[in-house]
Amino acid sequence: MSRLSPTRILLFAAAAPLLLRFVDLERLGRWLEPANPARIPRPGRRSAEDLVWRVDRLLRLGWPVVRRGCLVRGLTLYRFLREAGFDVSLCFGLGRPEGEADFTGHCWIEMDGRALAEKREPRGIYTETYRLTPPRGEAPAMARPTTA
């Protein structure tokens, strides 16, 4: 667990806005994959939720150096959940949340076909437009446009 140190997580989260600004999604998907993920995946959703809780707490403590928002949270969670061996995806979508006039974007982590640690189920609000997924076999992780 020493690889998932609070310092590494906070440094990554602080740098996340730069990644989003200067790196296209396909390259970003490859960069977010850990070089040496855990060989034995953690045992299930509850362990993933525990890690999400710890990362969310660090992100709150890191303010104002660490920006708030779903993009920083999503990138950080994807990176460190993957490093811990979890099979998760990072989903991006557009939608019009109830009570809002304009379309907004959102990103979220998905595990076993369900959103992980979201206050509201995002798939009923946002239409998925992109998804970063772990590599399968020899292929690198890539941003994949989704079809509705």
**pLDDT tens digits, 3-31:** 678 999 999 999 999 888 888 887 888 88
Q: What is the pTM of this model?
A: 0.84
**pLDDT tens digits, 84-134:** 989 999 999 999 888 778 899 999 999 999 999 898 899 999 999 999 998
The parent domain of residue 61 ranges over 2-145
Alpha-carbon distance 81 to 75, whole Å? 10
Say what the pLDDT of residue 135 is: 80
Domain total of the chain? 1
Q: How many other CB atoms are found less than 10 A from the CB of residue 80?
A: 23
| 85, 47 contact by CB (below 8 A) | no
Say what the pLDDT of residue 6 is: 93
